Amino acid sequence: MNIIPIKHIGIFTSGGDSPGMNAALYGAAKAASTHGIAITGIRRGFEGMIDGDFMELDENALQGAVHQGGTVLKTARSERFRKLMGQKTALQKLQEKRIDALIAIGGDGTFNGLLAFSEICKLPAIGIPGTIDNDLTGSDYTLGFDTAVNTAIQNIDKIRDTAESHNRVFLIEVMGRDSGFIAIHSGLGTGADGILIPESGDDFIRLLNKVRHYHSEDALIVVVSEGDELGVDLVASKIREVNPEVDLRITTLGHVQRGGNPSAADRMLGIRLGAAAVEAVLAGESNAMAGVIQNRLSLTPFDQVVKQHRVDEELQGLLKMFNN
């Protein structure tokens, strides 16, 4: 492999934000500085790349942002980059800035964008999995997942207090469009009475059986993944059909799960993957995602980073056990 010396890395965050992105930026900036490599931030993802919206990264400022949620580089989705003209404009802006490698923090859409970009340019590109859904293969955990679960748990614990005060049934919708990981981890971690996820087809049947025997002197907590095939509103109507006596409330946690200070685990994961991405670029790697598998750094080619990371048999077994 002929390794072309890298002198200037461009780094950006893309798609949905996730806690720990700033830690990843800091890890990358520190690694680049150690190697004497310039690193420049690209604001607003592919949109900023097209517009030439660059930002000098201050290593000291990033060090002070490790504890902050969101991303100092902002993030966006870009329809313009899906078209060849947008990609050519982005390449021109990168060339004008003399950027000769890219690091992207995002999800599968971001990595697919980089794969398409690689067809018109030879800039090496490394990805970092930044999504709270934990729905990508190539890493045991994605950046922001641990924080999102902890946020969900804190809120579910608070909802349980009021549920028990009024003996109510609460349906709590958590994020997870294609994956039930947040629902499983937060549901089990809070002792939920029911957990509904996209990957399971019989969890709803078990819930209805439980609701039939529900007595109004008890509280009932049900955690529903937003990607569940029924949806929280339909689940609510079916519960009322089975047991019209229930005093039922729906709470959607929503984007609060994306915000807040990243957990210790996400800060460490971000720093590790940021540094690993720089090392991979300098080693001549390209079109691959840096991840951690069994606590070891790993690279997975973009075309093998599959979305809808399936819930394994162990978690499925736990789900069935505790849903009964």
In the predicted structure, residue 144 carries a pLDDT above the cut 50: yes
Does the pLDDT of residue 1 top 60, yes or no?
Answer: no
Is the pTM above the cut of 0.75? yes
pLDDT at residue 315, as a whole number: 82
Q: Find out whether 110 and 104 touch, Cβ atoms under 8 Å.
A: yes
Quick check: 217 pLDDT over 90?
A: no
Class level of CATH domain 8-144+262-304: alpha beta
The DSSP H or E segment spanning 265 is helix 264-282
Average pLDDT for 263-269:
98
Beta-carbon contacts of 296 under 8 Å, excluding residues fewer than 6 positions away, are none
pLDDT of residue 177: 82
pLDDT(252) > 70: yes
* pLDDT band at residue 205 under the 50/70/90 scheme: confident
CB 34 within 8 A of CB 3: no
Per-residue pLDDT, 318:
84
Q: Active-site residue among 17, 108, 133, 203?
A: 133
Asked if the model's pLDDT at residue 223 lies above 70, the reply is: yes
Q: How far apart are CA 229 and CA 241, in angstroms?
A: 18
Q: How far apart are the first and last CA of the chain?
A: 55
- Domain 148-258: which topology? Rossmann fold (3.40.50)
Give the residue, 111 or 229, on which the prediction is more confident.
Answer: 111
What is the C-alpha to C-alpha distance for residues 58 and 75, in angstroms, rounded to an integer?
18
Question: What are the residue boundaries of the structural domains of the chain, listed by start?
Answer: 8-144+262-304, 148-258
* pLDDT attached to residue 308: 63
pLDDT at position 203 over 60: yes
Kindly report which listed range (142-151, 152-161, 170-179) carries the lowest average pLDDT score.
Answer: 170-179
User: Active site includes 218?
Assistant: no
| Mean model confidence pLDDT for the chain | 92
Q: Is the pLDDT of residue 250 over 90?
A: yes
239 pLDDT above the threshold of 50: yes
Task: Give φ, ψ of 104 to 5 degrees.
Answer: -120, 135
> What average pLDDT score do residues 132-152 get?
96
What is the pLDDT, as a whole number, of residue 157? 97
pLDDT digits over 39-83, tens only? 999 999 999 999 999 999 999 999 999 999 999 999 998 999 999
CB 56 within 8 A of CB 33: no
State the Rg of the chain over Cα.
22
The reply to whether 8-144+262-304 and 148-258 are identical in fold is yes
Q: What are the phi and psi torsion angles at 95 (to 5°)?
A: -65, -40
Q: Which two tokens stand for residue 289?
A: 């995602």
Per-residue pLDDT for 96 more than 80? yes
